[in-house]
Amino acid sequence: MLTIRKAEERGRTRFDWLDGKHSFSFGRYVDRAHTGFRSLRVINDDLVAPGGGFGMHPHEEMEILTFVIDGALEHADSTGGGAVIHPGDVQRMSAGTGIRHSEFNASKTDPVRLLQVWIMPGTPGVDPGYEQISAADIARDDRLALVATPGGGPGAVHIHADARVLTARLSEGASVSHPLKAGRGAWVQVYAGEVVVNGQTLSDGDGLAVEDETTIEITGGSGGGELLLFDLA
């Protein structure tokens, strides 16, 4: 079963420095029909103005992944972790027993667009932690690259959840496939261009919930496209 979440149907938060779009309920945006998908709780598509950002604030018991699409995002947290996240990089922050962090546009002249993802941990009470992998270590052109997994590994951050996150940058007509084990579901989030997933055409900002399927077939649409795929227990 395939259920499309169109980009224009998402919730929205707008300030002078932020234009945020929410696939699931978040903050003041409450939609009881879209509170998450399996262990996936948040997909926020944020455009942050030059110099803008989120000051130091707390989180706990959540696996938080950040993907920069355009621009650069400066991160700092209470574990001492900190770096600038560039397009294609993958950052993981395990909030665990409690963490504080801040995120700011690293540029004073250009906006930054990012996806921030929250996944419920499978094990509560872990120590807070931070990890980042460079885009240069992720081979995603016309293939699915594993970028987050319970075991971590080359090109993939370690998350404390029964979830696997993959990404691909597909040229027009290029195809990849991903098998789904019995009982598992998937969410596909497109963040650039166009892709076709099991016959459904998705564009930038569209999401797709996948249930009761054995294989996910993905093809680059007109001009190609980029996506995240979440394989979830």
Please return the burial class of 37, using the count of CB atoms within 10 Å of its CB with bins 0-12, 13-18 and 19+: buried
Task: Give per-residue pLDDT as tens, 144-192.
Answer: 999 999 989 889 999 999 999 999 999 999 999 999 999 999 999 999 9
Lowest mean pLDDT among 53-62, 65-74, 135-144, 216-225: 53-62
Residue-range domains of the chain with CATH? 2-232 (2.60.120.10)
Element (H, E) at 67: strand 63-70
Instruction: Report how far residue 178's alpha carbon sits from residue 170's, in angstroms, rounded to the nearest whole number.
Output: 14
- Mean pLDDT, range 190-207, rounded to an integer: 98
Task: Give per-residue pLDDT as tens, 20-56.
Answer: 999 999 999 999 999 999 999 999 999 999 999 888 8
Pairing type for strands 145-149 and 157-158 reads parallel
Global model pTM greater than 0.95: yes
What pLDDT does residue 214 have?
97
Instruction: Report how far residue 233's alpha carbon sits from residue 225's, in angstroms, rounded to the nearest whole number.
Output: 26
- Mean pLDDT, range 98-123, rounded to an integer: 94
What pLDDT does residue 101 have?
85
| pLDDT averaged over every residue in the chain | 96
**Residue 220 pLDDT greater than 90, yes or no:** yes
